[in-house]
Structure 1
């Protein structure tokens, strides 16, 4: 992965390059930002830059032996750590770790560095399990990094979503992050850094990665996907700084389309006060895995905001796809200053409850019945 292959994020690229140029590469870096902004792409590009034999310019050379191994995810000094589920057929005594799913991880990464937790769970065959890092993961990392660099340069460990470490894993990882082996660099890719131990956060240099510029997404859609300029402009604006959102918009069978259908159905049933069908709707939503449920609810919050703003009739403020806008034409008037905050809070509370392992059938039905009351509020 080269810096030139990362979509946008020119400021972050320059900051990372400057660290190397000034010989002040920290032993631990946190790349923090929203999903789809390219944190993993930046982590891989920086790892390639550190491991490259000829990185004197703005990018790794892409052709030396180190770059070839890195591109194939086969560099012996490049290590990955990531949350996993308990492998099928193993008992509670098994200390699950990234070694259980090395093949699945490499396959997912080989398809591109822009992916979601939902995609990773699907790759592992997780069903309703939630991925985390346990003490087995910290043991694997400490064992791998205790070895000398096979190529005589840096050793790089990319930790994807370290906020999913449990307490035992985090405390053991803290020890090696505090006193890392010689020329070892940790690159932590975080979406919820506030969930990390304060002691880990304090020992890493944080770089906040912003959402990708709309112009960069538009250019990438035209150059990499062959989309015509007008369609690329609309998709880029609706993507809201996420390359993942842009890719979903290209796929008519995408998860986002499913979420839109669920939102439309929920609002129509709530408006007609069809309790029986709302119960069925809640059962359907409850059958999704928890990660998908949280992603769907986050999307619902986004649509509430967009429908509220749509009432102002200022196109520059709206970030909707054509299908979303088609529904908003008739629905937006029901989202107003009297209920927009209440609707958003209902869905945010459902996200919290799902995250705390509440019964999803109860959570969704409770939310749906409260939406009935909210929709009849008038300004």
Structure 2
């Protein structure tokens, strides 16, 4: 994968290549940024560059490559062929996995247990979410983690010499999902890294990562994808009409995953919008029995989907509050969302916007802490009744 395949993020690309050109590549890097900004895509492009993939017509890459050991034409072709299928022997991926039912209690899960599913997913696109990964693994209600089996496997793999005589790169996706035992093992590995090994940690919630690990990495905070780049990619790569591409890019707000969701006729956000509309209508009519049924229905979703839904609810509350100012440039809604908001927005105001937003944020926290989903959602439904009255 080449840097040109990363959507936008031109400043980030130059920053990473400058590190190579100046011989300052950190042995442990922490890539942070909002969901869908392309952190993983940047990590994969940077890893590919370090392992031999190049864009000859890019001046920044040419300058960076000049500071690295020269590659023969054969070695470069070989590296690019292996990276095309993400099968380079000096590239290692680490990621959270579930423990399938029936797995022996003695077996320590590691990334290799789901290597086929992972490879299939990243070959499709470097832009993906936890929801995509859960689907690829066939997970039900499990929350994937990175356990000690994975840290043991990495110690074993990275102790070997580079097969190509250059860098070894380990990309760790969502390191904040490491359990305590794994995190402590990884800390030792990062403190005393094997020769010419680069760790790239792609993090969604860096505050949940062990402080001692954070302090031993160089952090890079990436911005959302700029709207013009996203708009142009929708036109060039997804063949979307310019006016529609403009609207989708604004609604996505720098999140390529959200842009792709809008292109999917059966996307998850449409389900979330239906559930939001149902909740608000039932709460307004104070139909307690129906709200209980609503709570039981959403309690059947997996926990990751439940958290995504509550985050969506929070966004709609903010958008409906802004809708009341009658300034279209402040709103980032789809046509379906805006159609509902024409009549609903007047119910969201200074008296309840903060409380409703906090209600959904607490719900995300409670679901993440394995609270009973039926209780969490029924509590949300009942409190929504009270808050809608404050109009």
The TM-score bracket by the shorter chain reads: over 0.9
Q: How many residues align?
A: 378
Q: Residue in 1 aligned with 2:41?
A: 41
- 5+ unaligned residues in a row in structure 1: which ranges? none
Aligned with 1:232 (options 245, 269, 278) = 245
- Per the alignment, in what secondary structure is the counterpart of residue 58 of structure 1? helix
The question of 1:135 aligning with 2:148 is answered yes
Q: Which sits farther off after the overlay, 50-59 or 311-320?
A: 50-59
The question of 1:337 aligning with 2:350 is answered yes
Deviation at 1:35, TM superposition (A): 1.2
Aligned with 2:112 (options 94, 99, 103) = 99
Q: Which sits farther off after the overlay, 19-28 or 65-74?
A: 65-74
Contact 2:2 2:55 in 1 (8 A): no
Whole-Å separation in 2 of the counterparts to 1:106 and 1:28: 23
Contact 2:231 2:246 in 1 (8 A): yes
Q: Residue in 2 aligned with 1:253?
A: 266
Q: Residue in 1 aligned with 2:70?
A: none
The question of 1:365 aligning with 2:374 is answered no
Residues 21-80 of structure 1: per-residue CA shift (max 9 Å, x gap): 001100011110111110110001000110116677434899622122112111000000
Aligned with 2:189 (options 176, 201, 221) = 176
Contact 2:90 2:164 in 1 (8 A): yes
Whole-Å separation in 2 of the counterparts to 1:102 and 1:216: 32
Residues 172-199 of structure 1: per-residue CA shift (max 9 Å, x gap): 0001111101110000000001111111
The question of 1:309 aligning with 2:311 is answered no
Residues 265-289 of structure 1: per-residue CA shift (max 9 Å, x gap): 1101111111111111101100000
Q: Residue in 1 aligned with 2:389?
A: 376
TM-score, normalised to structure 2, is 0.95
The question of 1:352 aligning with 2:365 is answered yes
Matched ranges for 1:69-218 at <5 A: 69-218=82-231
Deviation at 1:89, TM superposition (A): 2.3
- Per the alignment, in what secondary structure is the counterpart of residue 362 of structure 2? helix
Q: Structure 1 pair 55/315, CA: closer, same or farther in 2 (3 Å)?
A: closer
Contact 2:2 2:54 in 1 (8 A): no
Whole-Å separation in 1 of the counterparts to 2:228 and 2:280: 33
Contact 1:81 1:160 in 2 (8 A): yes
- Cα RMSD after superposing both structures: 1.4
TM-score, normalised to structure 1, is 0.98
Deviation at 1:130, TM superposition (A): 0.5
Whole-Å separation in 1 of the counterparts to 2:194 and 2:92: 14
Q: Residue in 1 aligned with 2:78?
A: 65
Q: Residue in 2 aligned with 1:20?
A: 20
Q: Residue in 2 aligned with 1:29?
A: 29
